[in-house]
Each structure stands twice: as C-alpha cells, then as structure tokens.
Amino acid sequence: MISQTAAGDRGAFHSLVLRHQSAIYRHLRTLTPTVQDAEDALQETFLAAFRHAATYRGESSARTWLFTIARNSAFRLARKKLPSQTDSLTENDGLLDELARKAGFGAGDPEELAIRAQCRERMNRALSSLSAEDREILILRDLEGLSGEETSAVLSIGLAAMKSRLHRARLRLAAVLREQGA
C-alpha cells in the first residue's frame, strides 16, 4: 500500500489510514496529554506518511513505520507544549482494562465487574507514576501487540535492549500495583 501511495494512489493511502489509524491513535493517547494533542499528532502522522511514502525503504512493516512516525509526531508536539503538562490516560478506560487484565487484575469475571472502575483508576495512577518510556513500551508490546522486532524498531533500540526495558517496565508496573494494594 505504501508503494501505491508513493505513486499517488489516494485509494491505497485511504486503505492504509483505515487499517492503522485506530492502533496509532491509541498509542498516541498514551504519549500525549490530551485528546486534542493525540488527534493533532494522528493527523501529522498520516500527513507525514503521505508526504514521505516515497522514502519508505521496506526495511520494516508499514505498521512499524507508521508507529515510528507517530512517536516522532507526538514528541515534536510535546516539545512545543509547556513542560508542566502531564500524561493522562483517564479517557482510555478500554486500554486500562486491557492492561489490568494482562497484569492479572480485574480479569473480567462477572463478580469483578463492580470493581472495574476502581481497577482502572489504580491502573491509571500506576501508569502515571511510571516514566513515559515505561508506559510507551508497555502499550506497544502488551496492548498494541507489536512484536519484539517491531517494538525495538519503533523505539530505535536493539531487540535485547527492548526485552530488558520491557521486563523492567513490567516489574515496575507490578511493584506500583502492589504498593497500591491492587
């Protein structure tokens, strides 16, 4: 689809956007403090992808390429913002539920439905207490389901470094959740 986009095929670009925009948006919500910032970064991501489709070398999947562009767009946007802004995941209840489930908390049994809101709040606090680096790697691997190779490409680090960083981020998340009594 990217080579077709580079050749000017707007239909191929539209298909590319439809295929990846939800995952890219979810990722951007973890990297940006507001919905508006995520939407701005999403627009910037696909605009950059369209403009630079001809430079795509095919060394990684289209998904990995787009996640990398999205990450760079979010960081560019963050540099323009005040440094005092903090990340907020309160609007991403679905992401928080999924991450909590993968961490073994609030697995979704009917008996546990009543504590979902509390679990989301704990997960939000736990994620907010982690570094942006830890949040990003957890979201890429555990929620977006990127492979190790894709995640390391998006983060511009080696596979071994990605595995080590992911392991440490999971340990820190589990420790924070334990401290919160989750």
User: In this predicted structure, what is the pLDDT of residue 173?
Assistant: 92
User: In this predicted structure, what is the pLDDT of residue 5?
Assistant: 87
Using 50, 70 and 90 to split pLDDT, how confident is the model at 82? very low
User: In this predicted structure, what is the pLDDT of residue 99?
Assistant: 62
pLDDT, average across residues 55-78? 88
Q: Is residue 21 part of a domain?
A: yes
In whole angstroms, how far apart are CA 67 and each of 24, 27, 45, 113, 118?
A: 6, 8, 9, 33, 31
Question: Are 108 and 172 in the same domain?
Answer: yes
Q: Which range of residues forms the domain containing residue 152?
A: 93-180
- Tens-digit pLDDT profile for residues 24-62: 999 898 888 889 999 999 999 999 999 999 998 888 889
Q: Is residue 123 part of a domain?
A: yes
Using 50, 70 and 90 to split pLDDT, how confident is the model at 83? very low
- Tens-digit pLDDT profile for residues 111-163: 555 566 677 777 778 888 888 889 889 888 887 888 999 999 889 899 999 99
Q: What Rg do the C-alpha atoms of the chain give, in angstroms?
A: 17
Q: What is the domain count for the chain?
A: 2
Q: Is residue 159 part of a domain?
A: yes
Sign of CA dihedral 166, 161, 22, 38: positive
We report the CATH number of the domain holding residue 128 as: 1.10.10.10
User: In this predicted structure, what is the pLDDT of residue 87?
Assistant: 44
Give the residue carrying structure tokens 């420790």. 175
Q: Residue 69 and residue 43: Cα distance in Å, rounded?
A: 11
We report the CATH number of the domain holding residue 68 as: 1.10.1740.10
User: In this predicted structure, what is the pLDDT of residue 76?
Assistant: 84
Sign of CA dihedral 132, 123, 32, 154: positive
Question: Are 8 and 68 in the same domain?
Answer: yes
Question: Are 67 and 106 in the same domain?
Answer: no
The more confidently predicted of residues 89 and 139 is 139
Q: Exposure of 1 by Cβ count < 10 A (0-12 exposed, 13-18 middle, 19+ buried)?
A: middle
Q: What's the pTM value of the predicted model, to 2 decimals?
A: 0.61
Which domain-ending residue is among 17, 52, 80? 80
Which domain-ending residue is among 80, 110, 144? 80
